[in-house]
Amino acid sequence: MSIRRPVPAEHEDDLTAQAGWMYADLFLALMVIFLATISFVPELSNNVTRLRSSVVQPKSAYNYDKGLSLVYSTFDGAQIVSDIKNFESAEKLPKETDIIYVQVIGGYNPDTEVAGDGTLKALDFSLKLMSLDSKLFQQAATNLGSSDQIASGQVILRLTFAAKLKA
């Protein structure tokens, strides 16, 4: 009985080094295609799919450099409107001045309350403020906060004004 000789396996080429270069070349080609296509996207002037903000921002306005800070223990809408009108007349603000930013900060006692209690007071105050039958706060963005530096039960109202520039 004769022993069969094993057939020597063919020596295959190692292609791993070439595969790495092929991967890098393909990646580079995809990147070039992407950059070429993104740079030639036309800008359509009648593109109606753009997002539009519901808040109307004046195109030419300036922020007044002095804000108004008021402290209240109870909500009195007539007093707030009166305080704002007095400030506008004292500072000689233009007639078309708008309030563009309202910050309401509720006070709390850190020994007996948590910061959320101050924020709830500010929220309650701001809801009453926005329900006033006044156009004072139509354009205003509102921010709520709380502080233990303010007495419990008190609310600070900070207002920022802007007026349209005349052409």
Q: Which two tokens stand for residue 156?
A: 């600070």
- Which residue would you say has higher pLDDT here, 46 or 161? 161
What per-residue confidence (pLDDT) applies to 120? 93
Residue 138: per-residue pLDDT: 80
Q: What SS3 class is residue 29?
A: helix
State mean pLDDT over 80-99.
88
Residue 115: which H helix or E strand, with range? helix 115-130
What would the two tokens of residue 10 be?
């063919």
Predicted confidence at residue 15, as pLDDT, reads: 73
- The predicted-structure confidence for 43-69, as pLDDT tens digits, reads as follows 555 444 444 445 555 555 566 667 889
Q: Which residue has the higher pLDDT, 48 or 158?
A: 158
Encoding tokens for residue 124? 């309650």
Residue 45, SS3 per DSSP: coil
Least confident segment among 25-39, 77-91, 118-132: 25-39
Architecture of domain 63-164: 2-Layer Sandwich (3.30)
pLDDT at 42 over 80: no
When pLDDT is cut at 50, 70 and 90, the band that residue 111 belongs to is very high
